[in-house]
Amino acid sequence: MKRMTLHCRVNGEAVAREVEVRRTLADFVREDLGLTGTHLGCEHGACGACTLLVDGRSVRSCLMFAVQAEGCEVQTVEGLGTEESLHPLQQAFWDHHGLQCGFCTPGFLMAAAELLRRNPHPDEPAVREALSGNLCRCTGYQNIVAAVLAAAESMAAPRA
Amino acid sequence: MKPAAFDYVAPTSVEEAVAALSGAGGDAKVLAGGQSLVPLMNLRLAKPAVVVDINRVAGLDGVTVRSGFLSVGALVRHADLAAHPDVAGWPLLRDALELIGHPAIRNRGTVGGSIAHADPAAELPGVLRVLGGSVVAAGPNGSREIAADDLFLGYLTTALEAEEILTEVRFPALPAGAGSAFVEFARRHGDFALVGAAVVVALREGGQVGEARLCLIGVGPGPVAVDMGGLQGKPATEATWAAGGELAAAACDPDSDLHAPAEYRRQLASVMTARALALAAPRASEPRR
Ligand SMILES: Cc1cc2nc3c(=O)[nH]c(=O)nc-3n(C[C@H](O)[C@H](O)[C@H](O)COP(=O)(O)OP(=O)(O)OC[C@H]3O[C@@H](n4cnc5c(N)ncnc54)[C@H](O)[C@@H]3O)c2cc1C
Ligand code: FES
Ligand code: FES
């Protein structure tokens, strides 16, 4: 079979689309669904820009075929927060200058989202380990780590 | 970058997977975690006519302690094995799993895929060989067990036939009282190692070295087992570990490549081995009278 119909949920919405089996999950969300927040840096697993969550776990979407997401729950950066109501991680990246050009940011946000879901109170080494697969050419990483630590704190604090 | 077109099949049983491989006339690839195969396909270094996705095959995701070994289904993800309670009894495996790539890689990458891919710098083939483990492969004529010593034939090459799938990996327990360590050097955290050393050390009554085993990664076409008999009976001291490092350096014949010249790899083999021995020995317990 060279084409198949894929059924999955993307950011909570049911999706049924015919796709070429060689379509990567990254190309599927970008080209077929128009969710261009997921970025492609290297397309061979080296940079982490394409990181999104499948059934809650971070994956490199350039290394998965879309048809492999059959029956799965996919979350992209578009599903994290909205422009009106940023996710605490997105707010913290803004506040702590965790981005410059922003190309790597969606991947970092999704990797960090998985970390905070599993470990709401990570220390700095745990943050660095969780983000170790994501490359950033701009920030020098320091502010990204600071942003994730700050987001963990703000998410733990009782809401005002 | 797009992979070349292929036919996709997603069998749900081992028998169907084997039939799909057999029917493809040698031009099929098994897709497990995809963390090594899909980069090769995206770069069009691999252009299989058929991709047999085994992610929906039932019965390949178990982790079970059996008499003398840990049985790990081929599809068990690195992250799931690392988090499994039974892996506590296999400290060498636990240490090695942490060194594989990054969280997103370990979320998808499988134990069977790491073994079948047989990257010369991959950790798990080194662990399997130093423990004297084996794998189970299913083919058109049923299943067979292949010892690690007979499995790794060369660069990215194993004794698996084109129509066989690897179903189970068997990691033997450490000898009673033995200590182990996995030490490697990588340029960046999570990268494939330039060189790594997996060691097992047992001590005699009185504290001298009893048995010592070493398998190196990154210094040959596959995992390189080194005879450490020369350390037997020696005291558990820094000088002995340094001598072990010299044995390692003398036993390996690395190639030069883009990442490191042969001489540097040989030096790393010596240093990683000495460090691993020094870590493993205190983890071993002397036999009681
Ligand atoms: C950025 C990055 C960093 C990495 N770092 C490391 C590292 O430090 N150490 C390390 O060891 N690995 C590393 N890897 C590789 C990773 O561990 C792979 O997951 C692993 O090598 C292959 O497992 P897989 O399940 O992804 O296999 P796949 O990519 O699906 O398959 C790899 C090969 O094995 C074959 N195969 C897979 N499963 C079976 C089976 N059950 N039966 C028969 N054949 C099979 C496939 O046909 C293919 O030829 C890294 C990968 C990336 C992208
Ligand atoms: S685009 Fe997927 S890892 Fe670089
Ligand atoms: S902000 Fe530019 S690459 Fe990270």
Q: In whole angstroms, give the CA distance from residue B162 to residue B157.
A: 11
Select from B108, B119, B187, B191 the residue whose CB has the most chain A CBs within 10 Å, as the one to mutate to test that interface.
B108
What is the per-residue pLDDT across B63-117, written as a single tens digit (0 to 9) for each? 999 999 999 999 999 999 999 999 999 999 999 999 999 999 999 999 999 999 9
ipTM for the complex? 0.95
Q: Domains along chain A?
A: 3-79 (3.10.20.30), 88-156 (1.10.150.120)
Q: In whole angstroms, give the CA distance from residue B129 to residue B64.
A: 20
Q: Domains along chain B?
A: 7-52 (3.30.43), 63-172 (3.30.465.10), 179-283 (3.30.390.50)
Ligand 2 atom nearest residue A60's Cα: 2
Q: In whole angstroms, give the CA distance from residue A58 to residue A38.
A: 13
Would you place residue B289 in the very low, low, confident or very high pLDDT band (cuts 50, 70, 90)?
low
- Interface membership of B43 toward A (CB under 8 Å): yes
In contact, B138 and B18? CB cutoff 8 Å: yes
Q: Is the predicted pLDDT of residue B25 greater than 90, yes or no?
A: no
Q: For a ligand 2 pocket test, name from A38, A39, A47, A58 the mutation site with the most ligand atoms within 8 angstroms of its C-beta.
A: A47
Cβ B103–A132 below 8 Å, yes or no? yes
- Model-level pTM? 0.96
State the angle between helix axes of A105-118 and A142-156 in degrees (0 to 180), rounded to the nearest 10.
40
Would you place residue A159 in the very low, low, confident or very high pLDDT band (cuts 50, 70, 90)?
low
Averaged pLDDT for residues A101-120: 97
Q: Give, in order, the Cα–Cα distances in Å from B189 to each of B16, B103, B112.
A: 39, 12, 23
